[in-house]
A and B are shown apart, each in its own frame.
Chain A
Amino acid sequence: MTVSAVKARNVLSGWAMVPRLRPTAAWALAPAAAVLFAFWLLPLAHLVLLGGQSRDGSDSGYWQGLSSAQYLGSLAQTCLLALATTLAALLVGGFSGFFLSRQRFFGRSVLVALLTFPLAFPGVVVGFLVILLAGRRGLFATLGLALVGERWIFAYSLMGLCIGYLYFSIPRVILTVMAACESLDRSLEEAARSLGANHWRVLCDVIVPGLAPALVSCGAICFATSMGAFGTAFTLGTRLNVTPVAIYNVFTNYANFAVAAALSVVLGLVTWAVLLLARRLAKDSRTVL
Chain B
Amino acid sequence: MRRSTLFVGQLAFTLLVCAFMLVPVVMSLLAGLTRNYFQGLSSGLTFDWLVQVWQAYSPTVWLSLQLAVACALCVCVVGVPAAYALVRMNNRFSRAFEELMVLPVAMPGLASALALLLTYGQFGGFRSSWLFILVGHVLFTLPFLVRPVMAVMQRQHLPVLEEAAASLGAGPIRRFFSVVVPNCRAGILAGVLMVVTLSLGEFNLTWMLHTPMTKTLPVGLADSYASARLEVASAYTLIFLLMIVPLLVALQAISARLSRGANR
1/0 contact trace for B100-111 toward A, CB 8 Å?
111111111111
Q: If A28-B81, A244-B108 touch, does A19 touch B91 (CB 8 Å cutoff)?
A: yes
Whether A20 contacts B91 in the complex (CB less than 8 A), given A43-B116, A167-B21, A228-B109, comes out as yes
**What 0/1 pattern do residues 171 to 188 of B give for CB contact below 8 A with A?**
010001000000000000
Q: Which residues of A contact B10 (CB under 8 A)?
A: 95-96, 99, 103
- The verdict on B264 contacting chain A, using a C-beta distance below 8 Å, is no
A275 in the interface (beta carbon within 8 A) = yes
Question: In the bound complex, do residue A115 and residue B139 qualify as a contact, i.e. CB atoms below 8 Å apart?
Answer: no
Residue total for A at the interface (Cβ-Cβ under 8 A): 85
A25 touches B89 (CB 8 A): yes
Minimum C-beta distance from B129 to chain A (A): 15
Contact B252 A116 (CB under 8 A): yes
B54 within 8 A of partner (CB)? no
| Complex: A170 Cα to B27 Cα, angstroms | 20
Chain B residues touching A, range: 35 or more
Residue of B nearest to A34 (CB): B78
Interchain nearest-CB distance for B252 vs A (Å): 6
A234: contacting residue among B18, B24, B207, B245, CB under 8 A? B207
Set of chain B residues within 8 Å of A116, measured between Cβ atoms: 252
Q: Mark A43-82, 1 if CB is under 8 A from B, else 0.
A: 1101100100000000000000000000000000000000
Chain B residue with Cβ nearest A50: B118
Contacts of B115 in A (CB 8 A): 40, 43-44, 46-47, 261, 264
Residue of A111, A248, A289 near B14 (CB, 8 A) is A111
Question: Is the beta-carbon distance between B93 and A128 smaller than 8 angstroms?
Answer: no
In the assembled complex, B57 has its CB within 8 A of some CB on chain A: no
Knowing A124-B222, A231-B218, A286-B98, the reply to whether A46 touches B111 (Cβ < 8 A) is: no
Point out the residue from A35, A114, A133, A251 that lies within 8 Å of B18, measured CB to CB: A114
Q: Evaluate contact between A230 and B207: CB separation under 8 angstroms.
A: yes
Question: In the bound complex, what is the Cα–Cα distance between A241 and B90 (angstroms)?
Answer: 44
- Closest B residue to A78 by beta carbon equals B108
Shortest CB distance A110–B (Å): 10
Contacts of B233 in A (CB 8 A): 128
> A47 to chain B: which residues have CB within 8 Å?
111, 114-115, 118-119
Q: Find the A residue at minimum CB distance from B202.
A: A122
A127: nearest residue on chain B (CB-CB)? B225
Over the window 117-130 of chain B, the binary record of Cβ atoms lying under 8 Å from chain A Cβ atoms (1 yes, 0 no) is 01110000000000
Are A28 and B18 closer than 8 Å at their CB atoms?
Answer: no
With most chain A CB atoms within 10 A of its CB, the pick from B110, B230, B233 is: B110
Contact B84 A25 (CB under 8 A): yes
Nearest residue in B to A174 (C-beta to C-beta)? B17
Q: Which residue of A lies closest to B40 (CB)?
A: A142
Q: How distant is B83 from chain A, measured CB to nearest CB, in Å? A: 9
Residues of B within 8 A of A132 (CB): 24, 27-28, 31, 234
Whether A133 pairs with B23 at a CB distance below 8 angstroms is: yes
Q: Which of these, B108, B144, B197, B204, contacts A271 with CB under 8 Å?
A: B108
Q: Is the CB of A264 within 8 A of B89?
A: no
Closest to A113 in B: B252
Chain A, Cβ-Cβ closest to B119: A43
Known: A19-B91, A124-B222, A227-B108. A32 touches B197 (CB 8 A): no
The 4 closest A-B pairs by CB, nearest first: A228-B108, A43-B115, A32-B82, A28-B81
Residues of A within 8 A of B (CB): 19-22, 24-29, 31-33, 35-36, 39-44, 46-47, 50, 92, 95-96, 99-100, 103, 105, 111, 113-118, 120-125, 127-133, 137, 139, 166-167, 170-171, 199, 221, 224, 227-231, 234-235, 244, 247-248, 251, 257, 260-261, 264-265, 267-268, 271-272, 275, 285-287, 289
A to B CB contacts below 8 Å, 22 in the list: A19-B92, A20-B91, A24-B88, A25-B89, A31-B78, A32-B101, A32-B142, A35-B139, A40-B104, A40-B115, A44-B111, A92-B17, A96-B13, A115-B17, A117-B21, A123-B204, A230-B207, A231-B207, A264-B115, A268-B111, A286-B102, A289-B102
- Other A-B contacts than A265-B111, A287-B102, 20 sampled, CB-CB below 8 A, are A19-B92, A28-B84, A31-B82, A32-B78, A36-B101, A36-B139, A40-B115, A47-B115, A50-B118, A99-B10, A120-B197, A120-B201, A127-B225, A132-B234, A137-B37, A230-B203, A244-B108, A251-B114, A260-B114, A261-B118
